[in-house]
Amino acid sequence: MSWLPDDFVHPLHVPVPGTAVHLRPIREADTTVDYPAVMGSRARLWEIFGPAWGWPQETMTYEEDRADLLRHEQEIAAHQSFNYALLDERETAILGCVYVDPPERTGADADISWWVVDDHVGGEVERALDALVPKWIAADWPFRQPRYVGRDITWQDWLALPRIP
């Protein structure tokens, strides 16, 4: 059984209220704006995601990022998992990402996490995204027990949960 209903249609464009930014599914073609966003915030992102995902490696190349985005694009098309880029109005910069994933560990029907680039930590964009994500998930996604990893459970506590067989 799939983790999503067969007739589920994922959102394609999600405005972030009170800002000039929006979310949309990430694509391989976004590598030119994703790579500088990720590598420019790499040390902080490693502190968040490194222990769980081993990402982003200090030595990640542009080609490795491109391959990663292609994988995400294919997973989105197959409804296996979803990576949404947080983009400026003209889509000339990625300001962060939101991940909507099937649960790897017991206790939820989806694992959701997100980040913003270092320049937006603590600012208006991050606050708006923090406010949006749980409302957006509740309104547009079919989950009964979404888990906000790094928000309502620490990454360390998430890693300690039993894996789903």
Quickly count: other Cβ atoms within 10 Å of residue 128's Cβ: 19
pTM of whole model > 0.95? yes
What is the C-alpha separation between 29 and 66, in angstroms, rounded? Answer: 8
Q: CB within 8 A of 136, min separation 6: which ones? A: 11, 14, 23
In the chain (165 residues long), the average pLDDT of successive 10-residue segments reads 88 98 98 98 96 96 98 97 98 98 96 98 98 98 97 96 94
pLDDT at residue number 2: 76
CATH annotation of 22-157: 3.40.630.30
pLDDT at residue number 82: 98
Domain boundaries, the chain: 22-157
